[in-house]
Structure 1
Amino acid sequence: MTVKIGVIGTGMIGRDHTRRIQQVLTGGEVVAFSDVNLEGAKALRDDLAPDAEIFESGQALIASDKVDAVLVTSWGATHEEYVLAAIAAGKPVFCEKPLATTAEGAKGIVEAEVEHGKRLVQVGFMRRYDKGYNQLKDTLNSELGAPLMVHAAHRNPTVPEQYVTPMAIHDTLIHEIDTFRWLLDDDYVATRVTFPRTCSASHAKLRDPQIVTLITKKGVVINTEIFVNCKYGYDIQCEVVGEEGVARLPEPMSVVMRKNAKLQNPILTDWKGRFVEAFDTELQNFVDTAATGTVEGPSAWDGYMAAVTSDACVAAQEDEGATIDINYPDRPALYN
């Protein structure tokens, strides 16, 4: 069976996912596009899916009998309405983060999916599909004993002028928030934020870098450095300290070179390159499970947990040094 997929949002990530479905993955075909920029949607169709239909709205695309499953890669503020529409239509939907721009919005999606009675929503937390993170999780589970601490860093070479302090949580740390819940099989109970000296590359509306501490139910303390103007590259680091050992996330594979009296290897500068294989595996998983009428992978519940945690982290930014409690409702049986 070929899963006929409609893509809502034809910007950078929509284009990249369309390319993978059409040229890299198996079992899926993009048959429809929708975007507020219809010319952009038409250009993507002409480049990668010439037989696809253009719809003037995401809702019309979701309702079409030609579409079996939906990819939501549009502006974040639109995600909630499209995911809810896909659930109402009974169609599997892959939604890039954020699932919704508020915790209440994400909660509404969870409630709609629970009422439907079957998982239909997969959230785009691609790090769960990264080989390095999976190796780290396997090592943690088999070699390290009980985890005690995690030291991590999320560094970007630069960010646009419109990037402001809360975006360090909602747009950047959001991946670590989900990854550590999955890596440790644990949930959070509290957070606090500390701001070191602000780097000269920042601006008045962005305090950069910052250190976010998350404390889990099992007592693990996670310290994550967010530094989005580090200049030297896109660099994701993670070290788990256990009772019996320490393990680090593998570096992306690259050639080590000796030249000009230096020992060096390249560092990536683009997140798409760092996680390209994870994106491929993630979308292949969605296509494979959508063919059966359901989904696996990061769930609407995971998206909701990330939203609740993000809101607490932003509150901690606004009350620097204070410990902010994180409270979750009971998890519905659908997500057990």
Structure 2
Amino acid sequence: MSELLGVAVLGAGHMGADHVRRLDRVVSGARVAAVADPDAERAKAAVAGMDGVVTHTEAEAALDAPGVQAVLIASPGEAHEEALLAAFARGLPVLCEKPMVPDSAGALRVVEAEARLGRRLAQIGFMRRYDAEYRELKSLLDAGRLGRPLMLHCIHRNVSSPPGFTSAMLVNSSVSHEIDAARWLLGQELTAVTVLRPRPSASAPEGLLDPQFVLFESEGGALVDVEVFVNCGFGYEVRCEAVCEAGSARIGAAHTMVVTAGGGSREEVTQDYLVRFADAYDRQVQAWVDATRRGRVTGPSAWDGYAASAVAEAGVRALETGTRTAVDLASRPALHSPS
């Protein structure tokens, strides 16, 4: 493909507008052809100053816009299933932000719909797989120099939670990235979840169980623990330590600036995930564009999106019941068999 890849972006909120900017100013080989958002003014604001972009309030109208060859879904999770199936019906490759579909039943319908097509069209936006530190850790674990991974210790902290954020969302929204990262780093499915609830922070909104301590078990016998704290107040932090038979490796702690002045020093703490993972988002979208222009689909699959939803659902049940909860996964289609 010699011409620029025409992309329809569905959703013009915080994430969608950032992807519009990225496609227009950062990524090579693509252009924004259409944007859809129920808020017409928000869609227009996202493409202000850009030529040749049409805006719509309906997703399917954007998919059918002239010049659209691929789709980037950044709308709320509840709208993803319908958008994915509409893209499949048109044979359009898709990059879909997480969660692919919030509930596992809907996510499985997407997996099955893609399997019926007999070819992959969907890549799911687990951008940590494109982060330089995560990729370095993955390469180290795959090389086997530290022996088998036994444990992953993870930290996921946010400055504050947005309005309407629920206790369940700590698991099925915030921790969903750790779910995928753990499956990818270990090369194993997660089989059970336990959620422990310490005393809520005084900074947490009324009724929000924050922080939480989430423990995953893997099919290979590894354990993954995640401290998730979405109202820590001081910054956005993501860390991961892999403890193996013959050593350990830790990422995330050094992703900061240290300023020394006036007889002292202080560390800059990132305040937003779009800043911390800006490079990962850029790499992810560029890789998707490059593969799509070659007629290929790479990266996290619809199966990865489904597995993350199924594990998160088990995690929410564990949170609600206070008991260890098994993860119930469907049979994996041949289309998504590990390579």
- The answer for the alignment partner of 2:300 in structure 1 is 298
Deviation at 1:261, TM superposition (A): 4.5
C-alpha distance in structure 1 between counterparts of 2:255 and 2:216, whole Å = 29
Query: Which residue in 2 is equivalent to 1:42?
Result: 44
2:92 paired with 1:79: no
CA contact (8 A) 1:118 1:294 kept: no
1:328: Cα distance to partner?
1.3
Q: Which amino acid aligns with 1:83?
A: L
* Unaligned stretches of 5+ residues in structure 2: none
| Counterpart code for 1:294 | R
Matching residue of 2:290:
288
CA distance in 2, matches of 1:328, 1:18: 35
| Aligned: 1:101 with 2:131 | no
Q: Secondary structure at the match of 2:268?
A: coil
Q: CA deviation at 1:206?
A: 0.7
Structure 2 residue 91 is matched with structure 1 residue 90: yes
CA distance in 2, matches of 1:64, 1:294: 22
**Secondary structure class of the residue paired with 1:160:** coil
Match for residue 136 of structure 1? 137
SS in 2 for 1:256: strand
Q: Is the 8 A contact 2:43 2:56 kept in 1?
A: no
Alpha-carbon distance in structure 2 between the residues aligned to 1:264 and 1:295? 43
Question: Does 2:165 match 1:163?
Answer: yes
| TM-score normalised per structure 2 | 0.95
C-alpha separation in 2, matches of 1:139 and 1:120: 30
Residue 295 of structure 2 corresponds to residue 273 of structure 1: no
Cα distance per residue 1:13-45 (max 9 Å; x no partner): 111111111111111010111110111112222
The Cα of 1:266 is off from its aligned counterpart by 1.1
Change (3 A) 1:75 1:250: closer
SS in 2 for 1:157: coil
Aligned 8 A contact 1:91 1:293 in 2: no
Q: Where does residue 15 of structure 2 map in the other structure?
A: 13
Give the C-alpha shift of residue 60 in structure 1: 1.8
Match of 2:156 among 154, 157, 175: 154
Q: Secondary structure at the match of 2:67?
A: coil
CA-CA distance at 1:97 after TM superposition: 1.0
Task: Find the residue that maps to 2:31 and give its secondary structure.
Answer: strand
Kept in 1, the 8 Å contact 2:96–2:125? The answer is yes
The correspondence of residues 1-336 of structure 1 with structure 2, limited to 5 A, is 1=2, 2-47=4-49, 49-142=50-143, 143-320=145-322, 322-336=323-337
The 2-side partners of 1:293 and 1:256 are apart by 44
Report the Cα distance in structure 2 between the residues aligned to 1:29 and 1:232, rounded to whole angstroms: 37
Query: 1:290 is aligned with what amino acid?
Result: T
TM-score by length of 1: 0.96
What's the % identity of the aligned pairs? 39
- Alpha-carbon separation, structure 2, partners of 1:310 and 1:141: 25
Any conservation in 1 of the 2:314–2:325 contact (CA below 8 Å)? yes
After superposition, the Cα gap between the structure-2 partners of 1:257 and 1:34, relative to the gap in structure 1 and judged at 3 Å, is closer
Q: Distance in 2 between the 1:61 and 1:257 partners?
A: 46
> What residue identity is the alignment partner of 2:237?
D
Kindly provide the amino acid, as one letter, of the partner of residue 284 in structure 1: Q
C-alpha separation in 2, matches of 1:252 and 1:120: 36
**Are the counterparts in 2 of residues 106 and 303 from structure 1 also a CA contact under 8 Å?**
yes
* CA displacement 1:185-209 (0-9 Å, x = unmatched): 0111111000111110113331111
> For the structure 1 residues 43 and 264, does the alpha-carbon distance in structure 2 shift closer, same or farther, using more than 3 Å as the test?
closer
Q: Bigger shift: 254-263 or 304-313?
A: 254-263
Which 5+ residue runs of structure 1 have no aligned equivalent?
Answer: none
Contact 1:13–1:73 at 8 Å: present in 2 too? yes
- CA distance in 2: counterparts of 1:112 and 1:305, whole angstroms: 16
Aligned-pair CA distance for 1:237: 1.1
Deviation at 1:331, TM superposition (A): 1.3
